[in-house]
Amino acid sequence: MATPGRRILHLDMDAFYTSVEQRDNPTIRGKPVAVGGRPEGRGVVAAASYEARTFGVRSAMSMTKAVRLCPELIIVKPDFGRYRTVSSQIFEMYRSVTPLVEPLSLDEAYLDVTENRWGEPLATTVAKRLKRWVHAETHLTVSAGAAPNKFLAKIASDWDKPDGLTVIPTQRVEAFLQQLPVEALWGVGPVTARRLRAAGITQLVDVRAVPVDVLRSTVGSQADWLHRLAEGIDDRPVTPNRSAKSSGSENTYAEDLTNLDTIRTEVDRMARRGADWLGRKTLCARTVTVKVRYSDFTTITRSHSERPATRDADRLAARALRLVDGTEAGGRPVRLLGVSLHNLMCDEEVGQEPGHQTLPL
């Protein structure tokens, strides 16, 4: 069960981008707002206010669809510089309470408050004080989850949004787990959930009754991890200043791409941009992933991993091009392309990889 003695918070700003916009522009407060690109420019919703969400508007949705769902939608161009400034202010507050702050994004973080500079013995009290402080300083709200581990804290923070606080003490972990659907397990998306439900696994706790080898045939290498989570076990520490785990870029095009040469040129450019980033960070990547979204919004991803890891632009670009050549790009209109690099490691780690050869000088 959950590790006793640990007190973990997951803090998640409420509709962060749109909340900043509504805070700074009183004329759009209380109205449906979406941050993103214009519908006539094939824009995508980056964030939606709670007022917009009541109409079904969600992030990653095309702005054209968002406007169909909510004709009164107010569209605001994103200002990521301003969002980063507000984020930095909030994270400084978090770090003044504990050095164990693990950022997940501009608006989301884990905090280990088992020991904290306020000397508060209860995570609940720390969460309440932080929520009040953030609101007083920024006029924004944050939802919080407090639990003995990261898995449970993240579920808890989403339990009562916006401006919520959900606490799962160790003695209530089992009762909390009993009420969760299988989709609550970390890493279980729509596809995996369908596989699990087809196998009769509908609730989180149902995973416990399935032998690991049977579960492995359904979800592959995730089986052991899901078994542990279903027991409420998550021993991962809160890790400050997390190193980058991936790098990538993607682009939604104003007009669908139908020419394969154009598509390959775009993929080559994105892969080389990623290689440049690796060079600046003195990192290498083992895995290249290509994302293709067609005009009907069908989205596919293709990945390729190999050892040793590399940051060689030609090699990474060639692998990305092979991946996109294996899709229907060029045969079907393409709306979005993306290339990302994963399984990053430093030079010292690469030198220890199987298949690595040190060439003579």
Q: Are strands 283-294 and 299-310 parallel, antiparallel or unpaired?
A: antiparallel
Phi and psi at residue 113, in whole multiples of 5°?
-110, 25
Contact call for residues 338 and 249 (beta carbons, < 8 A): yes
47 token code pair: 């964030």
Residue in 21, 51, 102, 108 annotated catalytic = 108
Contact call for residues 287 and 310 (beta carbons, < 8 A): no
Using DSSP, state whether 311 is helix, strand or coil: coil
Cα–Cα dist 303/173, whole Å: 37
Catalytic (active site) residue 255: no
Cα–Cα dist 243/285, whole Å: 13
With vertex at residue 167, the alpha carbon angle to CA 161 and CA 172, rounded to the nearest 5 degrees, is 130
Closest CA relative to residue 107, chosen from 157, 142, 75, 61: 142
Contact call for residues 338 and 250 (beta carbons, < 8 A): yes
28 token code pair: 């759009």
117 token code pair: 């500079």
For 96-108, give one letter per residue: b (16+ CB within 10 A) or e: ebbebbbbeebbb
Contact call for residues 115 and 126 (beta carbons, < 8 A): no
Amino acid at 349: E
Cα–Cα dist 193/281, whole Å: 37
Alpha carbon 294 to its chain's center: 22
* Residues annotated catalytic, as ranges: 108
